[in-house]
Structure 1
């Protein structure tokens, strides 16, 4: 063994270095296994025999794998939610109730606006089915010849009604009224009719829609039933006409609350028009919300039952119904929260005339857990869509707002059935001749989720819904009809010689069946404390390990191991510098018997820096024996008595 290796081995033996300062990773792992509280690791080191050590190593690795597997399952399932149902019995706020007449506007107030459209529609019916104008009560004004010339230009150029065969190879359609031939530039899309034709007709009725930027991109919407085709065609033109009418004029054309409401009771007490708030819907005209909470405090009820809810008799005035726009008469009602927008077109309940409609309610609240357990929004502030409705956020509001903004961007106009965005105008055929094609194309993309509105809009974290139980009864009865209808006619201010029909009235009763409030509370299946406890239980079960042990493992693997590797690389570089050939030492350094050490503690790295001895001969010179001879005292010390005494003592010893 070389002299340098002997010195290194001696320093290692006398100054053992263990723990985080171990020189190698193997010794560091050995030190950790001997000092950790984790079961299994110590047995890997202290067990005798390779078989035992291999078995303990396999068991320890298996336990670690089980901990990782079970921990991953716990973490993944911690994002799941559970629903708990809570039931309370307490005094409840009565919801807002919005009611609308199915007929949006009084037919007599739209005489000047619809005379052209109605006349054209009657001519279509006469051409198709041989209708006579005396069979329907249609408002007309002015000279018919002048009207026909004006409307032919107005309706035939924008959206004419066509008749064609389903399998016509010539791709040619015929305009119903004028007989003009139209070349079909697109595919025929057969719309789903609400009324199926019982007779197998080869001819179909529809209309052609083309894009603004590409006249060759057209689509034919065909209907098997002429009823659906005419109603859809009439509704498109009706909305276009009404989109150009100012809001104040549309409110005047619709029904007032005094005309709509006959009698009203709430919680056994009479109510009147002051408890109703006007809400104008673009498609259903004037609607009225009871208990809106805007002008008066929100009403509440402390008892359940039909006598403690809203009881109202409504007058629909069926003589003012538009025969082409609506094919049924009655009232639409919706129950909603005071801060919620009433979606009449989606959540409405039909109130029949000549019937007593009783609606029993149960209040159900849903409270969802928030992020990261659920991707919901509290108030919609984190959703990048402008809320066009004067109401609290909901996913349905987000859908309609997103589609309306896309409509303005792609079609350069807004849909008249939705609120108007800033700096936008409603679509009409005068300014946007082909907006309908753009709308249908955009709507198809929305249904196919190509507009990404479904990805942007989030569910609301909290919502309130009312479960409705609807019952119908004959009203008024045959016995009561004889006296009740004259009284109702008198209440409407009509003369004694006039008597209204029971089909002009609707009886509505909305109430809480009971005051039980059900709350569906959604919460995470695993809380933070439960998650930590479950992970700690798995580590304690398989390795008798705790969070502190995990911290030790992280420290050893991420800190100490890296530090050992860095220190080893640095030591090897220093050894190469020490043992590399260098310049011959100077004479004073070569004769120096003491090696030069760095200032500091004698560590293992310092021991590696010891220089080799220059030669095997001892560096200390032999003693000079001549220096032991006794010399004469100094002349200056001859008279010193102490020196004489010392000399005598020395002679005596000899």
Structure 2
């Protein structure tokens, strides 16, 4: 009986074997367990020259130290070169080369001729006197004082008549002229570009007569501006017509009368 029980116990199910350890599943991002593993992975996978020598020569410390020093020197030189390049880039160096070529220029010879036969210096005094008489005439007719000096010492009409033979004044209404003269006077007197005044002011003008004063012509205007302008123009032409065709002497300095400045290549012109 006991033997049978032992056999029955021996024929029973065997106990289950302990589970064998399985390999850890590979993670998406892995971190190395030590810096030694990280350095070894870097040296075996990088393409930097000499890095593999730091790992494969672990048994020879002399060789490992040599390759380590050489590798550090190469890295130092590389970063020093980077620093030089970036420093030069951000300093913005500019190199300018300026070449100045000074060639001698031939000074030009220019001949200037004044074709105006009338010289201003010859009629300067007459024109100044005409300007003064014009101011006095405006003051006598319209009480217009342009220089503010005529009211203190006004000149009389007798002085004006003695100075100029045709003073501008208020004339009496003349007799009706002939048709031909009336047409000529109307065509040459009336101005469309000046404002017209009252009909009573048609007596502003001057009288033109021959030497014997036997034939006189009344030059009148409807505008005081026209009267003064035509009167001034008449006396200006009369002054210029009295001058002869005189040519300046060779020694006379006429360039200063119509040339204000003359320079060529920063040098003043001469009168050679």
Structure-1-length-normalised TM-score: 0.14
Select the structure of larger CA radius of gyration.
Answer: 2
Structure with higher strand content: 1
Structure-2-length-normalised TM-score: 0.29
Of structures 1 and 2, the one scoring higher in RCO (CA 8 A, sep 6+) is: 1
